């Protein structure tokens, strides 16, 4: 059976395709016209060059599993709510309906830790059952997608696994995010100003996330009509400072980590850590 992948050219999607490159999976990956993978791929999947609304039942025939990694406006500044809801809820829902008509019965979707929003601040370790209290357009749309996809699975009696990814980092990550910015300064021999770094997070390598999604292909505990939602992390929380210091040493940086040079952001969340099953 083939698998169908959305978001194959994205950050997590590119790592996922590399994870599958040596496996005996036939992979059809959706690719928007003009897009390219965030990292070099070891092997090319069968690319379907279309936008999500253009995917037909015929395109999905022969696939047993759909891996949904595509996400709209996943980095700040987020797009407006209507566009996030369109691309993160409405269009995937249409795709899922077509997939069911084509015979797909297992769906594995990427969720976001930011779906928990304000409720996540009340837990030392956030369970996947925590209330969803998102505060911005992208997290709101991802929370809405989790509810919609889980309900859809119950209605249609399909297998559904939603994996909420925490602080993922690695090759192919958006250049403006913390880890790429840290690396750029380290390799250039520059100083790197940052906050005091007391924020506690679960930093997850992109390869670990890819492995989690790959493992879901063969899971035997998924049941039709009984959706599962799980967090994806390492189970090893650490401060932003310790994370930065580790990588600074790893890269043999010549500059200085200027810890405390920047203020915390307004309403900075000091601990945001998942409970890992």
Judged by average pLDDT, the poorest of 14-28, 86-100, 190-204, 242-256 is 14-28
Q: Shortest CA distance to 253 belongs to which of 179, 176, 177, 182?
A: 182
Mean predicted confidence (pLDDT) in 83-111 = 98
Mean pLDDT over 172-176 rounds to 97
In this predicted model, what pLDDT tens digit does every residue of 117-135 receive, in sequence order? Answer: 999 999 999 999 999 999 9
CATH class of the region 2-166+202-232? alpha beta
Whether the Cβ atoms of residue 72 and residue 51 lie closer than 8 Å to each other? no
Write the pLDDT tens digit of every residue in 184-222: 999 999 999 999 999 999 999 999 999 999 999 999 999
The SS3 assignment for 26 reads: strand
- Containing H/E element for 204? strand 203-205
Q: Which residues pair with 108 in a beta bridge?
A: 67, 161
Query: What pTM did the predictor assign?
Result: 0.97
The model's pLDDT over 3-43, given as tens digits with 9 standing for 90+, comes to 999 999 999 999 999 999 877 579 999 999 999 999 999 99
Q: Where are the domains of the chain?
A: 2-166+202-232, 178-201+237-267
Across 233-272, the runs of DSSP E, i.e. the strands, are 238-239, 257-259, 271-272
Say how far apart CA 178 and CA 193 lie, in whole Å: 11
Q: Residue 274: is its pLDDT beyond 80?
A: yes
Query: What pLDDT score was predicted for residue 277?
Result: 80
| C-alpha distance from residue 143 to each of 31, 98, 193, 194, 202 (Å) | 24, 22, 33, 30, 20
Q: Would you say how long the chain is, in residues?
A: 277
């Amino acid at each position: 059976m083939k698998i169908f992948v959305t978001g194959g050219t994205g950050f997590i999607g590119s790592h996922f395709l590399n994870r599958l490159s040596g496996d005996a999976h036939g992979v059809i990956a959706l690719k928007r016209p003009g897009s390219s993978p965030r990292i070099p791929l070891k092997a090319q999947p069968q690319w379907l060059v279309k936008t999500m609304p253009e995917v037909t039942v015929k395109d999905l025939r022969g696939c047993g599993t759909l891996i949904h990694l595509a996400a709209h406006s996943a980095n700040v500044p987020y797009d407006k709510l209507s566009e996030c809801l369109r691309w993160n809820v409405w269009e995937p829902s249409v795709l899922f309906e077509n997939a069911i008509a084509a015979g797909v019965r297992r769906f594995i979707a990427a969720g976001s830790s930011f779906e928990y929003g304000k409720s996540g601040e009340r837990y030392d370790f956030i369970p996947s059952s925590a209330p969803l209290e998102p505060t911005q357009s992208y997290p709101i749309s991802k929370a809405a997608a989790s509810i919609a996809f889980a309900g859809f699975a119950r209605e249609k009696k399909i297998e559904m696994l939603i994996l909420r990814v925490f602080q993922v980092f690695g090759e192919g990550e958006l250049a403006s995010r913390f880890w790429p910015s840290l690396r750029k300064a380290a390799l250039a021999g520059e100083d790197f100003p940052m906050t005091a770094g007391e924020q506690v997070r679960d930093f997850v390598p992109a390869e670990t996330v890819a492995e989690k999604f790959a493992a879901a292909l063969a899971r035997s505990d998924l049941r039709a009509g009984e959706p599962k939602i799980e967090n994806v992390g390492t189970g090893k929380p650490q401060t932003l400072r310790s994370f930065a210091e580790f990588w600074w040493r790893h890269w043999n940086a010549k500059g200085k980590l200027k810890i405390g040079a920047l203020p915390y952001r307004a309403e900075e969340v000091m601990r945001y850590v998942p409970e890992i099953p």
